[in-house]
Chain A
Amino acid sequence: MSTTPLLEASNVNRSYGDVDVLEGVSLTVDAGEVVALIGPNGAGKSTLIRVLAGIEPPTAGSVDYGGPETARPVGYLPQQPAFRPGFTARETLAYYGSLVGDDEGVAREGLARVGLEAAADRPVEALSGGMTRLLGIAQATVGDPPVVVLDEPGSGLDPGMSVHVFEVAAELADEGRGVLLSSHDLELVERNADRVVVIDRGRIVEAGPPEEITERRSAPSLLDAFELAVAGEAGTVELVEGSP
C-alpha cells in the first residue's frame, strides 16, 4: 500500500573536519508511524535528526522528502528548546504560526494539543523545563508538517510527563504524520514506537519493530537487546572514530 516514505535518508554521511559522526545511515519514516531513534550518548542521534530536519546538509548521501508540497515539510524539536524571553507561550506559538500563515486560533489549538492551555499567557521564561519542552513540541507541529522529528522530547521530564509526550507523538502519528524521535527511555520506546532504529558510533546497528529486535537478539526486553546491539560498555560514552 504505502510505497513512498515521507522521509528517506540514503547512505548519509556527516563529518565535522576529520570526525565522521554519521556513516552510511539509511532509514525511512512513513506516514502514521512513530520511529524511535535510540543509541548511546555521542552515537550521532542529534546529528542525524538535524540532518533529517534539513538543518545540516549531509556530507554525502541524501535525504529526500516524499510527502506533499507544503510550506513546512518537516517539524523539528531541538534537544534543548528555548524561546525568546518576554513573550507568552501563546504569543510564541502565534509567531511561529504566522510564519506559515496560521492565525492565533491555531496557536491555541497547538497549546491544547500538548496540554499547555493553562499556561498560554505565562511568559516563556516562567515555564518549567517540562512545559518548555511541551511548547517546543507544539512548535514542532506548527504548519501541520507531514513529518515531525523530536530530539529527546522526554528528556528531563517526570515519568508522567514523559508518558504524555509519547502519547502526543502517538497522536501525531495517528493523524497520519510520520514521527521520528530520539529517546533514552527504552521502556516507553518499546511500548510506543512502531519501529526502532539503534544507532551506535554513527552507524545503524539494528532496526525494526521492537518485538522483532528483541526476538532477533533473543533478549527479554528492548533494553537488553540494546545492550547487546551496541559495542560500548554501559555507562560509558563512546565516541566515533576520529573524535578528538
Chain B
Amino acid sequence: MSGETGTGEEVAPETTTAASVHGGRPEPGTGHVVGTIVRRELRTVARTPTFFILGAALTAVLLGVAWLGGGLRSGYVPTAVDLLTPLELLVPIVAVAFGYRAVLADQQRGELDVLRTYPVAPWQIVAGVYVGRAVGLAVAVLAPLAVVGGAVAVVDHDTAIIYATHTGADSPLLYARMVVLTVLFALVVLAVAVAISAVASATRSALALAVVALVVLLVGADLALVYGLSVGILGDGSLIHALALSPLSAYRGLVLETAVIVAAGTGPRTAAPLSSLLGLALWWLASLSVATYAVKRA
C-alpha cells in the first residue's frame, strides 16, 4: 500500500511525507466554532417535543394562575405579583429540564472524546451548548409570559379589586421588567443545570444532582438566610444584600423592588438591586466555569 502512494518514488527525496498533500488547513475562528455548536443545539431544541410541551404547560399554568388570581382583570402589576411564586417554582424546573443532560448526553455517546480531535476548546463547547439551550429556554419562558401579558391587555380591567394602590401606576413596562428578570433567572438556573450535566457521569446522577440543585436553589438557600438572620449572623441592615447569595431570593427581591414596590411608590426595601444582579452574575459565571472545567477533565 505504501508503495502505491506518494510516499514512495513519486515524492521528492528529503520530504518528510506525502502528508503535505493534506493538512495546511487553518483553524476556523472562535465565532464560527461556537456558532456551529449553537446551531446544533438550537436544532436539537427545535426537534425535541418535550421542550414544546414544557412551554405549553407553562403557558397554561401561568394563564390559569393569572386568571384565578384576578391579576388578568386587575392589570400588569397585580398579574406580576400573582405569577411571582409560581415562576419561582416552575422556571427552575423548566431550566433544569433544558440543561441537565445537555453535555452529559454527548459525553455518554463519546462525542466529547471525538471533539477532542477537533480544534474546539472546552469553553467553546460549553459556550455553544449554553447559548443554544439558552435561546430555547428564553423562548420557552418568554412566550408564556407574553401570552399572559397579551391577555392582560385584552381583558377588560376591573377597577381596584385587589391592589388598589397599584391601579394608578400599573404599566406594561413594569410587567416587562418582571419578564426580563424572569428570563435572567432562568438563564442562571440553566447555567447551574449545564454545570450539573458536565459534572455528572450518568443520567441517574445528573437527575439526582438536579434534584439537589433545585432543593438548594428553591429552599436551602432561603432557609440558610433565615437561619443566619435568626442566630444573628446576618443583621437587619445586611439582609437585603445577603439575599443576593440565593439566586431565588435575588430574583424575587429584584422583581419586588423593580416591578412591584416601585408601582406602589412606598414600602420596605426588598432587595439591593446591584447586589442581587451581582449575585446572579456570580452564580452564572461560577456554574459555567465549573462546566468548562468538567468538560476539560472529562
Q: Answer yes or no: B204 CB below 8 A from chain A CBs.
A: no
Q: Answer yes or no: A30 CB below 8 A from chain B CBs.
A: yes
Residues 89 to 146 of chain B near chain A (Cβ within 8 Å)? 105-106, 109-111, 113-120
The CA-CA distance from A225 to B119 in the complex, in Å, is 40
Whether the pair B28, A1 counts as a contact (CB closer than 8 A) is: no
Residues 25 to 46 of chain B near chain A (Cβ within 8 Å)? 25-28, 32-33, 36, 40, 43-44
The CA-CA distance from A31 to B7 in the complex, in Å, is 6
B contact patch SS: loop
Q: Which residues of A contact B4 (CB under 8 A)?
A: 32, 174
Whether the pair B25, A143 counts as a contact (CB closer than 8 A) is: yes
- Contact (A55, B117) CB under 8 Å given A86-B47, A175-B21: yes
Residues 40 to 89 of chain A near chain B (Cβ within 8 Å)? 50, 53-55, 66-76, 78, 80-84, 86-87
A contact patch SS: loop
Against B, the Cβ 8 Å flags (1 = close, 0 = not) of A99-139 are: 11100000000000000000000000000000000000001
The CA-CA distance from A28 to B171 in the complex, in Å, is 72
Query: Interface size on B (CB < 8 Å)?
Result: 45
Chain A minimum-CB-distance residue to B116 = A55
Whether the pair B7, A80 counts as a contact (CB closer than 8 A) is: no
Whether the pair A95, B40 counts as a contact (CB closer than 8 A) is: yes
The CA-CA distance from A91 to B42 in the complex, in Å, is 13
Chain A minimum-CB-distance residue to B28 = A101
Whether the pair A174, B117 counts as a contact (CB closer than 8 A) is: no
Extra contacts besides A78-B110, A146-B17 (6): CB < 8 Å? A2-B7, A54-B116, A72-B117, A144-B22, A145-B23, A145-B117
B residues lining the A interface (CB < 8 Å): 1-2, 4-8, 11, 13-28, 32-33, 36, 40, 43-44, 47-48, 105-106, 109-111, 113-120
9 cross-chain pairs, A with B, having the tightest CB-CB distances, nearest first = A31-B17, A70-B23, A68-B23, A176-B18, A32-B7, A32-B5, A146-B19, A82-B109, A4-B16
